[in-house]
């Protein structure tokens, strides 16, 4: 299988991925520099246009200018198109990678897995791409309708404005981008469940990933026939870990900010829970904020850092190291503590290669965040809490900020651009390289153990 022309061609996919996103960012930057893209009718400077284009294509949501105040209708539509293309591109590339990795499994194991999970094969790439587009448009349409109706009935927006705002925020939410047409993001709707819950629905839907949704959809279709009784390991890990992290984020945020005057303090109990829940949702790399992040306590910022770093599901629009990576590392630690020679998850033995991939992805991400934070502390006057939050938000393509993004020096903003690009494209290229590269050594050296701990 590794010798087929198709596989050899797809081994170059990491380079193609980087080049494609770089070209899209270049085109977006050029469009945003047009005088017609700004409210004032003057050309936008290169740094602002580049930062906004990178943030949109990488579906992050960090901004250095106020989106509704600075960009014209054309500029907002350029941002919206970049978000949609960037989100679809990420889902398509990661889903194709999953299919490609499955195809490289030996035939006996692959047939067994397909009999159980109805997994797709490499020949279904075209169907997968069409499915991604269809699912994306469906979730975005449902969210857009809900938001449009609320803007019409609850806020008296004219129909065309309600539709535009509903569509923009639906696309931004499903793609986990976090761009908003309000200067305070969605803080003005913090206590309105008819706005907050549809946004949360779209964020979670996009963050779980297309492979999870297609498997759940197939399960509902085959339940009548008794087929597909067990979900795949990937889907089970994604659903369980996402649910646990969502609950942990809700409880910790609500508890830590319960009496804080600048955040949850003035709200009723129901409003506090709703706001805590939404903040936990958006830490999965969505970028919207219904609370003033700059007012958070240090403990809340730290919890948010951890949730942002983990991110969402593979094959979706979320960033971070992914919940599967985090969970697999936890299982590796658990097996090591028990002294087991192999890692078993959900009645399945984890491949050694997958363990190494999870460790490499996590350690490189930690190293990137550490070094970038150190550089930011050197070139800016802000505190460690603020800079660590900003760096993780950029690398995990979240988009949340304590309000310092626009005040960073140009060097700091360029560094954030690199982090957003690396955080969005890097895990894909790294996973591709690790999954598709297999080298057999012709000899091994004698074994020797080093002292650990």
Q: Is the pLDDT of residue 352 over 90?
A: no
d(CA 383, CA 377): 7
112-171 pLDDT per residue, tens: 333 333 344 445 566 777 788 888 999 999 999 999 999 999 999 999 999 999 999 999
Q: Is the pLDDT of residue 316 over 60?
A: yes
Q: Which token pair is 118?
A: 């109805």
d(CA 377, CA 415): 12
pLDDT at 360: 86
pLDDT at 427: 66
d(CA 185, CA 194): 16
20-42 pLDDT per residue, tens: 888 999 999 999 999 999 999 99
405-440 pLDDT per residue, tens: 999 999 999 999 999 998 888 766 665 555 555 566
More confident residue, 342 or 194: 194
Q: Is the pLDDT of residue 214 over 90?
A: no
Q: Which of 168-172, 228-232, 303-307 has the lowest mean pLDDT?
A: 228-232
Q: Is the pLDDT of residue 86 over 60?
A: yes
pLDDT at 429: 64
54-77 pLDDT per residue, tens: 999 999 999 999 999 999 999 999
pLDDT at 268: 96
d(CA 151, CA 148): 5
Confidence of residue 313 (pLDDT cuts 50, 70, 90): confident
Q: What residues does 38 pair with on adjacent strands? A: 71
Q: Is the pLDDT of residue 110 over 50?
A: no
pLDDT at 1: 42
Confidence of residue 107 (pLDDT cuts 50, 70, 90): very low
* Helix, strand, coil share (%) of the chain residues, nearest 5: 70, 0, 30
Give phi and psi for 305, each to the nearest 5.
-55, -50
Mean pLDDT (the chain) is 85
Q: Which residues of 199-229 are buried (b: 16+ CB within 10 A; e: fewer)?
A: bbbbbbbbbbbbbbbbbeebbeeeeeeeebe
Confidence of residue 103 (pLDDT cuts 50, 70, 90): low
236-274 pLDDT per residue, tens: 999 999 999 999 999 999 999 999 999 999 999 999 999
In the chain, the percentage of residues whose pLDDT exceeds 70 is: 83
Q: Is the pLDDT of residue 286 over 50?
A: yes
More confident residue, 80 or 209: 80
Closest C-alpha to 398, from 176, 97, 211: 176
Q: Is the pLDDT of residue 2 over 50?
A: no
Q: Is the pLDDT of residue 3 over 80?
A: no
pLDDT at 284: 83
**DSSP H helices in 58-177:** 67-70, 73-103, 107-117, 125-155, 159-174
In the chain, the percentage of residues whose pLDDT exceeds 90 is: 60
Q: Which of 108-112, 283-287, 343-347 has the lowest mean pLDDT?
A: 108-112
pLDDT at 111: 38
pLDDT at 9: 46
């Amino acid at each position: 299988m590794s010798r087929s022309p198709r596989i050899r061609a797809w081994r170059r996919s990491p380079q193609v991925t980087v080049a494609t996103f770089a070209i899209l960012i270049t085109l977006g930057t050029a469009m945003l520099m047009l005088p017609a893209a700004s409210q004032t009718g003057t050309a936008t400077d290169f740094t602002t246009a580049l930062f906004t284009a990178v943030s949109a294509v990488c579906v992050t949501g960090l901004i250095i200018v106020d989106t509704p105040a600075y960009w014209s209708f054309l500029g907002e539509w350029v941002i919206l198109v970049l978000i949609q293309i960037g989100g679809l591109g990420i889902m398509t590339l990661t889903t194709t990678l999953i299919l490609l990795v499955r195809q490289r499994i030996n035939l006996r194991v692959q047939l067994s897995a397909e009999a159980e999970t109805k997994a797709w094969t490499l020949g279904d790439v075209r169907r997968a791409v069409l499915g991604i587009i269809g699912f994306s448009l469906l979730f975005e349409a449902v969210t857009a309708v809900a938001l449009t109706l609320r803007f019409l009935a609850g806020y008296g927006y004219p129909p065309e404005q309600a539709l535009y705002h509903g569509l923009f925020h639906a696309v931004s939410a499903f793609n986990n981008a976090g761009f908003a047409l309000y200067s305070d993001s969605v803080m003005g709707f913090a206590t309105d469940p008819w706005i907050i819950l549809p946004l949360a629905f779209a964020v979670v839907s996009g963050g779980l990933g297309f492979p999870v949704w297609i498997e759940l959809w197939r399960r509902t279709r085959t339940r009548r026939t008794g087929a597909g009784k067990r979900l795949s390991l990937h889907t089970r890990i994604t659903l369980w870990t996402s649910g646990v992290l969502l609950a942990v984020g809700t409880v910790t945020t609500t508890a830590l900010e319960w009496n804080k005057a600048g955040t949850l303090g003035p709200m009723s109990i129901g409003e506090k829970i709703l706001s805590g829940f939404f903040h936990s949702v958006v830490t999965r790399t969505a970028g919207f904020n219904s609370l003033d992040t700059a007012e958070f306590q240090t403990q809340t910022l730290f919890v948010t850092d951890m949730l942002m770093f983990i991110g969402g599901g593979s094959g979706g629009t979320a960033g971070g190291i992914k919940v599967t990576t985090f969970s697999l590392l936890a299982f590796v630690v658990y097996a090591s503590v028990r002294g087991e020679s192999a890692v078993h998850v959900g009645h399945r033995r984890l491949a050694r290669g997958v363990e190494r991939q999870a460790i490499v992805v996590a350690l490189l991400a930690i190293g990137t965040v550490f070094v970038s934070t150190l550089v930011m502390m050197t070139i800016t006057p802000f505190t460690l809490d603020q800079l660590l939050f900003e760096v993780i938000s950029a690398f995990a393509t979240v988009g949340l900020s304590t309000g310092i993004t626009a005040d960073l020096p140009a060097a700091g903003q360029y560094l954030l651009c690199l982090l957003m690009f690396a955080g969005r494209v890097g895990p894909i290229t790294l996973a591709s390289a690790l999954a598709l590269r297999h080298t057999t050594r012709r000899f091994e050296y004698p074994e020797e153990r080093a002292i650990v701990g």
